[in-house]
Amino acid sequence: MTHTFFLDDQEIPFREGQSVLQAALSAGHYIPHLCWRPQLEPHSSCRLCTVIINGRPFSSCTQPAMKDQKVDCDTPELQALRKAVLQMIFVEGNHYCPSCEESGSCRLQAMAYHLGLQDNRFPQQFPIRERDNSHPDVNMDRDRCIRCETCVRASRDLDGKNVFGIHGRGIKSKLAVNAPSGLLKDTDVSAEDQAVALCPTGCLTVKRVGFKVPIGQRIYDKESISAMALKEFQAEEAAHG
């Protein structure tokens, strides 16, 4: 039996077990999100998908859709919150978009365009983070890591390898590698792993392919992140019935 809830005063059908975010995407309505991926269990780490449900804030990726609930997504307050969250993500790392090989394919960059981010109102942190170029096929640049744990979850749940983890807490936390040496070369990660493919930034990249697709012809050069998210979700739903 299909029930409905209201998203920005529009009636949205949902199936039992769907989250607010999943139901919205199924109905063709985009809720901004960064750490959520349809292949993985929801994590609620970035908070960009925050909505107001019956007057209270919730992460739409983890909140179950419920009959007749009232969900507000596109409000000035929520848009300001998302911008602030994204600004904090940018200043807590070292993101040099013009020179990054993932420019045009980066979900973080695409989200900044989607939200109309023009500057950072917070002081830049400029953290000192180690890079790991030891692996023959995979590069890890912690400067670009946003600690969303997508690679951690994907390596564990999709690749069955458990290569990555997060070490430390707060601003001092960093992406770690599960090897005695702490180096990628001493793990079984490969260029074909979902952990690498699903990284939303240029933190994990495949070597020797960075500029095979010219800038201007990349994923988000062609379509917005909202359009691509809807396509990605619909493809995943079709693949799994």
Q: Name which of 138, 106, 141 is nearest 127 in CA terms.
A: 141
- Using CA atoms, how far apart are residues 116 and 118, in angstroms rounded to an integer? 6
- What is the signed CA dihedral for 217, 222, 227, 229, rounded to 10 degrees? 10
Fold for 128-210, please state it: Alpha-Beta Plaits (3.30.70)
Enter the pTM of the model.
Answer: 0.94
Per-residue confidence in pLDDT tens, the chain, 241 aa: 679 999 999 999 999 999 999 999 999 999 999 999 999 999 898 999 999 999 999 999 999 999 999 999 999 999 999 999 999 999 999 999 988 999 999 999 999 999 999 888 899 988 888 999 999 999 999 999 999 999 999 999 999 999 999 998 877 889 999 999 999 999 999 999 999 999 999 999 999 998 899 989 999 999 999 999 999 999 988 887 6
User: What is the distance between the alpha carbons of residues 159 and 176, in angstroms, rounded to a whole number?
Assistant: 17
Task: Give Dmax over CA atoms of the chain in angstroms.
Answer: 54
pLDDT (0 to 100) of residue 241 = 63
Round to whole Å and give the CA distance between 76 and 112.
16
Task: Tell the CATH topology of 3-82+225-239.
Answer: Ubiquitin-like (UB roll) (3.10.20)
Output DSSP code: residue 241. -
Q: Where are the domains of the chain?
A: 3-82+225-239, 128-210
76-91 vs 107-115: helix axis angle to the nearest 10?
Answer: 140
Domains 3-82+225-239 and 128-210 share a fold: no
Q: For residue 3, what are the contacts with CB-CB under 8 A and spacing of at least 6? A: 13, 14, 16, 65, 66, 67, 68
CB atoms within 10 A of CB 2: 7
Asked whether 163 and 177 are in contact (CB, 8 A), the reply is yes
DSSP one-letter string for 70-134: EEE-S-HHHHHHHHHHHHHHHHTS---GGG-TTTTT-HHHHHHHHHT-----SPP------EE--
Parallel, antiparallel or unpaired: strands 50-53 and 70-72: antiparallel
